[in-house]
Structure 1
């Protein structure tokens, strides 16, 4: 539940940062306006006719972007911590990875017939063998 809420906050913060960065004027925008690169001429007085005023947009938008970036950064750290430490998990990665020999699962490997021929030496009659002897040449 907490993870989903933080994920939604992360999404809203990231979309807000993207929107605010795209709305801001770059530092090089004033140099372009000085050479007649737009700005709305006439009675508006260049960039002074913007919604937030000439300096107000920089302060308001840059502060809001900084706040959203801080929220994004802290939220990223909390999300990473939640993923690394799930509820009910063991406290150490080493403890979960190292298994003692008594706890190790026992694997039963069925014995398959071998393609290797039996030794040609004398076989005692006490040991019954299902493997035939190799032909003698």
Structure 2
């Protein structure tokens, strides 16, 4: 159950990261601000949007890494449990009773 919850959170974090990265401006976009593109009139101020988006991206990235590590941990534990079930040493030997029956007696009708 926890594996599925972490997987859903992981996918949501990945989608959030993609969206935030696409929203952000590249380093080359600062040249337009030098010619008066109105960056000071934005909602978050002159540098507020950049620092807010960068911090939010960093938080989502840390969450993405944590969920990645936890998913890898759960997957390795699940695999080792199934590997021990499939091990030759842990399998019990099943004796076939039909092969041990005495075939010298023939039932009469």
Question: Would you identify which runs of 4 or more consecutive aligned residues in structure 1 move more than 2 Å?
Answer: 95-100
Post-superposition shift, 1:84?
1.1
Count of aligned pairs: 93
Choose 1 or 2 for highest CA Rg.
1
Looking at structure 2, the residues matched to 98 and 18 of structure 1 have their Cα atoms a distance apart, in angstroms, of: 42
Q: Root-mean-square deviation (CA), in Å?
A: 2.9
Of structures 1 and 2, the one with the larger relative CO (CA 8 A, separation 6+) is 2
Query: For structure 1, which runs of at least 5 residues remain unmatched after alignment?
Result: 40-45, 106-137
TM-score by length of 1: 0.56
Aligned to 2:105: none
Query: For structure 2, which runs of at least 5 residues remain unmatched after alignment?
Result: 95-109
Post-superposition shift, 1:78?
0.5
Looking at structure 1, the residues matched to 76 and 66 of structure 2 have their Cα atoms a distance apart, in angstroms, of: 15
TM-score by length of 2: 0.69
- SS of alignment partner, residue 86 of structure 1: helix
Aligned to 1:30: 30
